[in-house]
Amino acid sequence: MLIKETATRLGFDYCGIAKAEKLTEDAYRLEKWLQQGMHGNMQYMENHFDLRIDPSRLVPGAKSVITLLQNYYPEQKQQKGTPRISKYAYGKDYHEVIREKLKTLLSELREKIGDIQGRGFVDSAPVLERSWAQKSGAGWIGRNGNLITKQSGSFFFIATLIVDIELAYDDPFAKDFCGSCRKCIDACPTNAILPDKTINGSQCISYFTIELKEAMIPAEMKGRFDNWAFGCDTCQDVCPWNRFSKTTTETQFNPLPEILNLTTSEWEKMSEEQFRKIFRHSPLSRTKFKGIQRNLEFLKER
């Protein structure tokens, strides 16, 4: 198929297509999750509820939802003892990288198919991308809340392209291959992963180190971050399916040397000007300099 061939040529590792329809079951689960306050201070999760569950609210006349996966698993690892950074943030900001690919994909489809109305999203709009990925046949949503593929594990970015034309649809991924495994639940440093496949976002290290904007991280979390300064990969690192992870071929995700090698003292000595220069195209810019410094200070407090 033209779409899948183009996606592969642009460097995407998977392309699947689902029929655009309301996500009724997902709407119920999301509403319950929000009512339980598991989104913490992430108030944006409460916004645009109707857009999250109905693709036609994002693209009028939506007929198809295309899911694309982009592997980010790095070949290089951080030096031991350095403040730990989630692997997705090793290289260039994925929003910038994948957004350009989505623009190119839609442009080429318009050239070859004709007038197509569509919008591409990569973690930038109210889209339940993991649900659409499962519906497109990519994989299943694991106990840790991540999309897991049998072939390559879970170190993927998920992008979504909603279009107003009918396409050939893939079968949804129907089976859950987590089985009785509890490795992610048992390994989570803050007990954010509940047995019923619910993630308490307000207890996740990624929430505290990235999403939380307060000047102080709650004192009860001291000593529980396992040296994570930005995000957390623990639940993915222990997942048995990630033994199949393959190194990304996207050079823009190659790690910044500073992320791999800077010691805690070198991080602490960094000026705001240096931070902005080094990380201006990095996901780390999201927390800003003050956020990183706050996280490093918190890690020192035992």
* Catalytic residue IDs: 123
- What is the side-by-side order of every strand in the sheet holding 118-121? 14-19, 64-71, 156-163, 118-121
Please give the DSSP secondary-structure letter assigned to residue 162.
Answer: E
Nearest to 141, CA basis, from 188, 98, 184, 170: 184
Rounded Cα–Cα distance for residues 173 and 20 (Å): 16
> CA–CA distance from 60 to each of 63, 87, 113, 165 (Å)?
9, 36, 19, 11
Q: What is the 3-state secondary structure (H, E, C) of 195-259?
A: CCCCECHHHCHHHHHHHCCCCCCCHHHCCCCCCEEECCCHHHHCCHHHHHCCCCCCHHHCCCHHH
| For helices 94-113 and 2-9, angle between their N-to-C axes, nearest 10 degrees | 140
Rounded Cα–Cα distance for residues 126 and 83 (Å): 31
